[in-house]
Structure formats: C-alpha cells, structure tokens
Amino acid sequence: MASGERPLNEVVFLTVAEVAAVMRVSKMTVYRLVHSGHLPAIRVGRSFRVPEQAVHAYLRDSYVGADTA
C-alpha cells in the first residue's frame, strides 16, 4: 500500500448522486468527470462509486483562488 492510502475497509464511497450534491453539479457532470479520468471511480454492477477523498482532492486541486491569474 502506498503511503497516504487508506485500507479499503476505511474508504468511504459515494454514489454519483451524492458526489453531484457535494459538488453542486449535475449527475451528468460527474459521469463526464469519471469517464474522462479526472475523477477516479470503481464500477459496481451498472453504477459507479467514487472515493470521498477523491472528490475532496479533485475540488482542492481545481480550486481557483483570487491570487491565480
């Protein structure tokens, strides 16, 4: 296991709808992020589950502050 990774039994997975609610975007936007590889996910049957930490990391890395221009 790489440093900083959590054991799978400690990972919280979110549904696409939950990710959309956290990010305040549509479910289609979340699907686009997953399919483009910008947001990692696992497939469970016909649906996707996204690690909660991946959502937080994506938002943190995508943040555009006032000092960037």
Structural domains in the chain (count): 1
Structure-model confidence comparison of residues 43 and 3, the more confident one: 43
Distance CA 7, CA 30 (A): 25
Per-residue confidence (pLDDT) for residue 3, from 0 to 100: 54
Per-residue confidence (pLDDT) for residue 7, from 0 to 100: 77
Cα atoms found within 13 Å of the Cα of residue 15, Cβ hemisphere only: 6
Distance CA 32, CA 38 (A): 9
Q: What would the pLDDT profile of 14-54 be if each residue is shown by its tens digit?
A: 999 999 999 999 999 999 999 999 999 999 999 999 999 99
Q: Is the pLDDT of residue 69 over 70?
A: no
Residue 55 lies in a domain: yes
Single-letter amino acid code for the residue at 52? E
Residue 1 lies in a domain: no
User: What CATH number should be reported for the domain holding residue 18?
Assistant: 1.10.10
Average pLDDT rounded to a whole number, residues 6-16: 87
